[in-house]
Amino acid sequence: MTVGTLKAAVERCAKQLYPVQVQIKEALRKSPVLHVDETGLYVMGKRMWLHTTVTPNLTLYAVHAKRGGEALCAIGVLADYAGVAVHDGWGAYWQFLCDHALCNVHHLRELLFVQQQEGQTWANKMSTLLLSMKDAVKQAREQGLTCLTQAALTQWKSEYQTLLQEGWQANPLDPPPVAGKAKRGRPKQSAARNLWHRLTNYQDAVLRFSEDFRVPCDNSQAERDIRMVKVQQKISRCFRSLAGAQAFCCLRGYISTLRKQHGQLLTALQLALAGHPVSPAF
């Protein structure tokens, strides 16, 4: 098969799958919990962004020139979403009025850094606390429960607040600048203090998984779904056109969705090329 034949097949398949992509997007809007993430993508040698919005059963990819709110509004899932969005804390996500949950795997990595590089013991205790809460939720699920007891939640949150106080003492505010030598802009803070601020200001999002068992402790679902695109970039380096990148996102999202639902991928692609795409379960 020539390159032109393959290109035409990809374009035809993506065109046939566009209505399915719209259905996936609509189903994501109605999902009680979804995962979002973004990563760099090169198109015609220029840096763009691949945005992914997923659940354990659905996958949507979108390519956009921007990383922030403009791109997320253009994709059209979070703009009127009313469920829980799980993410890594990127600032653009907070502008949306849905509930939020933060990825605690990121926090565990940062806490380990603070413990090892800066010797702050509160970070190790906080890691232990988050992992203990995760285990408690897992055990409760296995017992058929849908939530932790109020007494247990109160105890966990009390310990969390105690460790935040230790973190505050380990990372006091910098002294005010000397008159005439103050630098413009926001003062630079250490990694430990930035982490402490996030754990303090977004406590509800950090601990969402302990109060709502539908919400996982991390954002691994989005990271797993984005991995295949990173493999494509390592092999091909970049897309030759924006239309090609968009077609790839459409096909890849469809394949990922069917794989999650244990569909017959080759048969589904053959039917999509013939103009009769298989609709996933929504």
Structural domains in the chain, CATH included, are 3-101+220-273 (3.30.420), 104-171+189-211 (no CATH)
pLDDT at 187: 61
Which residue type does 99 have? D
| Least confident window among 150-154, 184-188, 243-247 | 184-188
Q: Do residues 191 and 164 make contact, with C-beta atoms less than 8 angstroms apart?
A: no
pLDDT in tens, 42-101: 999 899 999 999 999 999 999 999 999 999 999 999 999 999 999 999 999 999 999 999
Judged against a pLDDT cut of 70, whether residue 171 lies above it is answered with yes
Mean pLDDT (whole number) for 272-280: 91
Mean pLDDT (whole number) for 6-30: 94
Mean pLDDT (whole number) for 253-262: 96
pLDDT at 189: 77
pLDDT at 233: 85
Rg (CA), the chain: 22
Pairing of strands 99-102, 84-87: parallel
DSSP conformation class of 52: E
Give, in order, the Cα–Cα distances in Å from 1 to each of 15, 127, 241: 20, 54, 21
- In terms of Cα–Cα distance, which of 33, 39, 24 is closest to 85? 33
Which residue type does 191 have? A
pLDDT at 55: 97
Does residue 69 come out as left (phi exceeding 0), alpha (psi in the -120 to 50 range) or beta?
Answer: alpha
Give, in order, the Cα–Cα distances in Å from 85 to each of 30, 81, 122, 138, 166: 12, 9, 28, 20, 30
Q: Would the pTM of this model clear 0.85, i.e. be above it?
A: yes
CA distance 214 to 205: 14
- In terms of Cα–Cα distance, which of 223, 222, 252, 247 is closest to 43? 247
pLDDT at 190: 85
Mean pLDDT of the chain: 92
Residue of 187 and 235 predicted with greater confidence = 235
Judged against a pLDDT cut of 80, whether residue 184 lies above it is answered with no
Location of structure tokens 């009390």: 158
**For the chain, percent of residues with pLDDT exceeding 70:** 95
pLDDT confidence bin for 257, thresholds 50/70/90 = very high
Give me 13's structure tokens: 């398949």
Give me 47's structure tokens: 């840096």
